[in-house]
Structure 1
Amino acid sequence: MGYAVVLGEALVDLLDAECAGEPVYRQAIGGGPLNVAVGVARLGGDARFVGSLGDDVLAERIREFLTTAGVDVGATVTVPAPTALAVATFAGAEPDFRFYGEPPSYGQLTADDLDVALVAGADVLYCGSIVLLCPATLAAARRAWSLATGVRVFDPNIRPRLLSGPDALAAVRQTTAEFAATAHLVKLSAADAEALYPGEPVERVAAHLRDLGAGTVVVTLGARGALVAAGPDPVRVSAPTVRAVDATGAGDSVMAALVAELLADGQPRDPAGWTARVEFALRVAGLVCESSGGAVAMPTRDDVARRFPG
């Protein structure tokens, strides 16, 4: 089994909570790509996190958390900046994020910072999320994408609150199209699809991304499961019934499960193989939703088998 390089952001989430009747914020290590890296490691894969971290105590906690989770952080860089914060409030199980820190600690990885041999040797390369809004790290992601010899996976992970100015959405749509054009797998949520292409049904968004060049497109639909576009006709995959308390990291866990399966068994030979992979990924996500927190809720394969036997 080879390894996956996960290029993206790591930050600290402040999660809206309550203690002794008073509103408080619960600190958690976060960032979509960080969640993916941890999820891959928990599922038995070899994950190497590539990104920029601040120079404060919070950044040290991130490094320690990743290392303890089994994620290699040798290719991360330290930058002179406080760790960026994502403040999350909840309406139901879905979090709403607002970001603090400018320039963000997670967006200062440059193309020259890349470990070229590490990226080129990866069996799977993940790029995506909000780091692509940062010019320096977008350039690093582009270079990594060009160096990749393994499976390329992409997740736009749109955060509308970070899009400011009349041209911001168009720029994100263009970046998504650029990476999707040569991606073996694109994973996005229904919310991402709506943000990128307002009013378009997810089937049409998936078809568009495949027309651009993406090999397989998976659109997560929350409690309704996922849409898998891997063959001539898209397939809907149902999600398992769970007792959801916190959806933070659920979409990231789907990507983590798909990356872990790619490391274990390579690309599926046919569309049915992708459907089976997504069924497993949705079980992983269901288990994540039954616990509070994103990265700390990522399960092992044994956890998944116990929760969803058979």
Structure 2
Amino acid sequence: MGYAVVLGEALVDLLDAEYDGQPVYRQAIGGGPLNVAVAVARLGGDVQFVGSLGDDALAARIRAFLGAAGVGLAGAVTVPAPTALAVATFAGPEPDFRFYGEPRSYALLTADDLDVALVEGADVLYCGSIVLLDPPVRAAARRAWSIAGALRVFDPNVRPRLLGRPGALERLREVVAEFAASAHLVKLSTADAELLYPREPVEGVAAYLRELGAGTVVVTLGAAGALVAAGPDVVRIPAPKVRAVDATGAGDSVMGALIAELLVDGEPADPAGWQQRVAFALRVAGLVCESPGGAVAMPTRADLSRRFPS
């Protein structure tokens, strides 16, 4: 079994909470790609995180957390910046993130910083999320994407709060199209699909991304499960019934589970194989939703067997 490279952001989430009757923020290590890397490692996969980390105590905590989770840091660089913060408030089950910190610690990886040999040796390369909005990291991601001999997986993981500038959404659409066109797998959420392609049904979005060149497209539908477009038909896979308390990281866990399975068995030979993989990934996400927190909620295969013994 080879290894995966996950290129993207790591930061610290400040989550709305209450202590002794007063509003407080609970600190949690986060970032969609970081969550993905931890999910892969917890499921037994060999994974390297590639990105820029700050030079402060919070960054040291991120490094320690990733190391303890079994995520490699050979491709992570330290930059002279405080660790970026994502402040999350909850109006419903999905958190609303606002981002703080200049320069953004996660956005300072350049194409020259990229560990080319690490990327070339990977069996799976993940790119995506908010780093694609920043030109330096986007250039690094493009370089990684172009040299990878690996299976390429992509997740736009859109954050609407970062799209305030005029033309930002249109530029993001172009970047999504560029990466999706040569991806073996694209995973996106219903919220991503609705923001990127308003008024287009999710089945239409999946078909469009496949027309661009994506091999397989998975659209997560929250409690309703996921759509899989891997052949001529778009198939809905139901999610298991769970006692959800926190959806943070659930989508990232789907991506992590799919990467972990690609490391074990490579690409499925047919659409039915993809459907089985997605059903597995939805069990992982269901278990994540039953625990508070994102990265800390990622389960092991033993956890899955206990929760879903059949």
Q: TM class by shorter-chain length?
A: over 0.9
Partner of 2:300: 300
What is the identity, as a one-letter code, of the residue corresponding to 1:12?
A: V
Partner of 1:42: 42
Once the two structures are superposed, the pairs formed by residues 228-247 of structure 1 within 5 Å of their partners are 228-247=228-247
1:6-48 CA deviation, whole Å, 9 max, x = no partner? 0000000000011111111000000000000000000000010
Once the two structures are superposed, the pairs formed by residues 179-190 of structure 1 within 5 Å of their partners are 179-190=179-190
**Structure 2 CA distance, aligned partners of 1:165 and 1:120?**
35
Partner of 2:157: 157
Name the SS of the counterpart of 2:71 in structure 1.
coil
Partner of 2:139: 139
Deviation at residue 103 of structure 1 after TM alignment: 1.9
Partner of 2:263: 263
**Structure 1 CA distance, aligned partners of 2:177 and 2:103?**
26
Note if 1:76 corresponds to 2:76: yes
Deviation at residue 217 of structure 1 after TM alignment: 0.2
Name the SS of the counterpart of 1:73 in structure 2.
strand
Partner of 1:111: 111
Partner of 1:202: 202
Sequence identity percentage: 79
Once the two structures are superposed, the pairs formed by residues 191-230 of structure 1 within 5 Å of their partners are 191-230=191-230
Deviation at residue 208 of structure 1 after TM alignment: 0.3
Partner of 2:252: 252
Name the SS of the counterpart of 1:74 in structure 2.
strand
Partner of 1:177: 177
1:37-88 CA deviation, whole Å, 9 max, x = no partner? 0000000000100000000000000000000000001210000000000000
**Structure 2 CA distance, aligned partners of 1:92 and 1:135?**
32
Note if 1:291 corresponds to 2:291: yes
Partner of 1:62: 62
**Structure 1 CA distance, aligned partners of 2:287 and 2:23?**
27
Deviation at residue 92 of structure 1 after TM alignment: 2.7
Q: Which TM-score applies when normalising by structure 2?
A: 0.99
Deviation at residue 95 of structure 1 after TM alignment: 0.8
What is the identity, as a one-letter code, of the residue corresponding to 2:188?
A: L
**Structure 2 CA distance, aligned partners of 1:221 and 1:294?**
18
**Structure 2 CA distance, aligned partners of 1:264 and 1:162?**
35
**Structure 2 CA distance, aligned partners of 1:165 and 1:265?**
42
Partner of 2:19: 19
What is the identity, as a one-letter code, of the residue corresponding to 1:186?
A: V
**Structure 1 CA distance, aligned partners of 2:92 and 2:264?**
35
**Structure 2 CA distance, aligned partners of 1:165 and 1:200?**
23
**Structure 1 CA distance, aligned partners of 2:224 and 2:58?**
36
Deviation at residue 165 of structure 1 after TM alignment: 2.2
What is the identity, as a one-letter code, of the residue corresponding to 2:164?
A: S
**Structure 1 CA distance, aligned partners of 2:51 and 2:78?**
9
Name the SS of the counterpart of 2:73 in structure 1.
coil
Name the SS of the counterpart of 1:50 in structure 2.
strand
Note if 1:97 corresponds to 2:97: yes
Name the SS of the counterpart of 2:40 in structure 1.
helix
What is the identity, as a one-letter code, of the residue corresponding to 2:305?
A: A
**Structure 1 CA distance, aligned partners of 2:155 and 2:71?**
20
**Structure 2 CA distance, aligned partners of 1:106 and 1:132?**
11
**Structure 1 CA distance, aligned partners of 2:196 and 2:140?**
23
1:269-297 CA deviation, whole Å, 9 max, x = no partner? 00000000000000000000000000000
**RMSD over aligned Cα, in angstroms?**
0.5
